[in-house]
Structure 1
Amino acid sequence: MNREKKLNKPVASFILLTNIIFWPLFLLVGAIRMLGFPAWVFDIMLCISAWSSTFAFGVLFKRIYPGQSFIQFVKDKFKNKLKFSVLFTVSMIQVFIFLLILFFVSNNSEVDSIFTKSSWGMLIYFFFKNLLSGPLGEELGWRGFAQIELQKKYSPLKAAIILGFWWGMWHLPIWFTTGYTGIDLIKYMLFFMISILSTTIIIAAFYNLNQNLIISIVIHQSFNFFIGIINENLVDLIMYNAFLYLAAAVLLIVINPKKVLYGKEDTNINNGKHYMS
């Protein structure tokens, strides 16, 4: 039996296939909305489309890691014990950002309520819908594979910047469904990319500190969930997130905790272990 040839550019292949899978799924999501299907059908298809990166990674896995088990790979991403200090620190950073945005919104907004969800039931439903259609579907491919794979060649900071750009570009079709045009669309795209790049750097830092994918899932979930429950003009909301998450990312770059982002002792990760270069 002939074995498949190992991919020479696994990350590039992953990003390309992720987009090839995502675009038709996203078009199907749009068609479902236009044809007036029930909301739950739309939510399910939106969730499936968000898993395009996991689908792409699954398809390519045997050519990226010949002889390895996909199931074991996934298990390994969660095997390290969660560090309370890491989880607590990143949670407090995002709660602080959320509270700052609430302060800005409460002072500047003319809406009746600063929250988009009016009941606990709606809030819980949104939480789990958001979890399934974002973090759980995206983090295995983008962080569990691509971030770590790029760190074999680049520092974690440079890897995060490269990955953040392509992760942001993956959202391209979503940008044009916001209804914004002209300067508002440009502002939305700019602030969105700043938010994505900043969040990717934050994820890289804390994920490398703990080496458990739950860390990146929590960061991703908190970002999406908090922004989704605040009732504010979307461009302004993205702007607040962009500058606050950028400030947090810059602070991490300056502090460079345990040299996880860059430096003379750059941390490269191979098979879940640290190698100092």
Structure 2
Amino acid sequence: MSKEKKLKKPIVSFILLTNIIFWPLFCLVGVTKMLGLSTWLFVVVHCISSWASTFAFAILFKKIYPGQSFIQFVKSKFKHKIKVSVLLSVSTIQALIFLTIMLIVLSKSEVDSIFTLSSWGMLLFYFFKTLLSGPFGEELGWRGFALLELQKKHSPLKASIIIGFWWGLWHLPIWFTTGFTGIDLMKYILFFMISIMSTTILMAAFYNLNQNLIIPIIIHHNFNFFIGIINGNLSDLIMYNAILYGIAAVLIIFINPKKVLYGKKEKSLLYGNPTVM
């Protein structure tokens, strides 16, 4: 029995296939919306579309890691115990960003409520919807595989910038559903990309400190959830996020805790053992 050939450019293949899978699913989301179908159906289709990167990685897995088990690989991404210090650091940074944005919006807003959701039930629904769509659907492929794979050749900082760029670009079709045009659209895209790349740097730093995929999932979820519950102009919200997450990323780069973004480090700390059986 001949051995399976290993992909020569696994990350390129992963990004291409992720987009190939995502575009038709995204169009299906649009069709569901335009036809005015059930809200639950729209939510389900929307969540499925966000799993494009996981579907792509699962399809390519045997060619990326021949002879290995996909299930065991996934399990290995959650095997390390969550460090309280890492969890508290991430939560504090994002909570401070959220509170700062909320205060800015509150000082400028003339609306009755600072929040978009009017009941605890809606808040709980949005919490789990946000968790199941972006964070759970995207992190295995983008961080669990692509980011750590790139770190075999590049510093975590450089790897996070590369992945952040392509992860941001993957959202391209979503940009054109915002309703922005011309200069407003260009500003939105610029601030969106800054936000995405800054957040990816935070993910890389704290993921390397803990090596449990729950960490980037939490960071991703908090980013989406917090921006979604503030009742403010989308363009302004993404600008505030870009500025504040950008500041946080720069501080983390300068602090470089335990040299997890650049400098001398243990390879095993950064991406573990890739040959999980």
TM-score scaled to structure 1, two decimals? 0.96
- Listed one character per residue, the Cα deviations across residues 183-221 of structure 1 (whole Å, up to 9, x for unaligned) are 111111000000000000000000000000000100000
Q: Is the 8 A contact 2:134 2:221 kept in 1?
A: yes
Amino acid across the alignment from 2:166: W
Task: Indicate the residue corresponding to 2:65 in structure 1.
Answer: 65
Distance 1:256 1:271, change over 3 A: closer
Task: Indicate the residue corresponding to 2:55 in structure 1.
Answer: 55
How large is the Cα RMSD of the aligned pairs? 1.2
- Identical amino acids, percent of aligned pairs: 72
- Structure 1 segments (4+ residues) deviating >3 Å: 266-271
Amino acid across the alignment from 2:181: T
Distance 1:231 1:267, change over 3 A: farther
Q: Is the 8 A contact 2:208 2:260 kept in 1?
A: yes
Task: Indicate the residue corresponding to 1:207 in structure 2.
Answer: 207
Task: Indicate the residue corresponding to 2:230 in structure 1.
Answer: 230
Q: Is the 8 A contact 1:80 1:210 kept in 2?
A: yes
- Listed one character per residue, the Cα deviations across residues 55-91 of structure 1 (whole Å, up to 9, x for unaligned) are 0000000000001100000000000111000001110
Alpha-carbon distance between aligned partners in 2 of 1:166 and 1:266, rounded to the nearest angstrom:
25
Alpha-carbon distance between aligned partners in 2 of 1:267 and 1:181, rounded to the nearest angstrom:
47
Task: Indicate the residue corresponding to 1:248 in structure 2.
Answer: 248
Task: Indicate the residue corresponding to 1:173 in structure 2.
Answer: 173
Alpha-carbon distance between aligned partners in 1 of 2:239 and 2:77, rounded to the nearest angstrom:
33
The Cα of 1:139 is off from its aligned counterpart by 0.3
Task: Indicate the residue corresponding to 1:127 in structure 2.
Answer: 127
Task: Indicate the residue corresponding to 2:14 in structure 1.
Answer: 14
Task: Indicate the residue corresponding to 1:2 in structure 2.
Answer: 2
The Cα of 1:110 is off from its aligned counterpart by 1.7
Q: Is the 8 A contact 1:127 1:225 kept in 2?
A: yes
Alpha-carbon distance between aligned partners in 1 of 2:58 and 2:267, rounded to the nearest angstrom:
24
Would you say 1:147 and 2:147 are equivalent positions?
yes
Q: Is the 8 A contact 1:260 1:266 kept in 2?
A: yes
Greater mean alpha carbon deviation, residues 2-11 or residues 18-27: 2-11
Alpha-carbon distance between aligned partners in 1 of 2:207 and 2:247, rounded to the nearest angstrom:
19
Aligned ranges 1:192-203 → 2 under 5 Å = 192-203=192-203
Alpha-carbon distance between aligned partners in 2 of 1:160 and 1:93, rounded to the nearest angstrom:
19
Equivalences, count:
273
The Cα of 1:4 is off from its aligned counterpart by 2.7
Alpha-carbon distance between aligned partners in 2 of 1:62 and 1:233, rounded to the nearest angstrom:
44
Q: Is the 8 A contact 1:156 1:267 kept in 2?
A: no
Would you say 1:102 and 2:78 are equivalent positions?
no
The Cα of 1:271 is off from its aligned counterpart by 5.3
Alpha-carbon distance between aligned partners in 1 of 2:117 and 2:272, rounded to the nearest angstrom:
39
The Cα of 1:266 is off from its aligned counterpart by 4.2
Alpha-carbon distance between aligned partners in 2 of 1:79 and 1:147, rounded to the nearest angstrom:
18
Q: Is the 8 A contact 1:86 1:209 kept in 2?
A: yes
Amino acid across the alignment from 1:3: K
Distance 1:228 1:267, change over 3 A: farther
Q: Which sections of structure 1, spanning at least 5 residues, go unmatched?
A: none
Q: Is the 8 A contact 1:80 1:211 kept in 2?
A: yes
Alpha-carbon distance between aligned partners in 2 of 1:246 and 1:211, rounded to the nearest angstrom:
23
Task: Indicate the residue corresponding to 1:156 in structure 2.
Answer: 156
Task: Indicate the residue corresponding to 1:216 in structure 2.
Answer: 216
Amino acid across the alignment from 2:78: F
Alpha-carbon distance between aligned partners in 2 of 1:12 and 1:128, rounded to the nearest angstrom:
31
The Cα of 1:3 is off from its aligned counterpart by 3.4
Alpha-carbon distance between aligned partners in 2 of 1:85 and 1:58, rounded to the nearest angstrom:
32
Alpha-carbon distance between aligned partners in 1 of 2:27 and 2:273, rounded to the nearest angstrom:
40
Task: Indicate the residue corresponding to 1:190 in structure 2.
Answer: 190
The Cα of 1:267 is off from its aligned counterpart by 4.9
Q: Is the 8 A contact 1:261 1:267 kept in 2?
A: no
Amino acid across the alignment from 1:79: K
Q: Is the 8 A contact 1:155 1:266 kept in 2?
A: no
Tell me the secondary structure at the aligned position of residue 134 of structure 1: helix
The Cα of 1:136 is off from its aligned counterpart by 0.3
The Cα of 1:223 is off from its aligned counterpart by 0.4
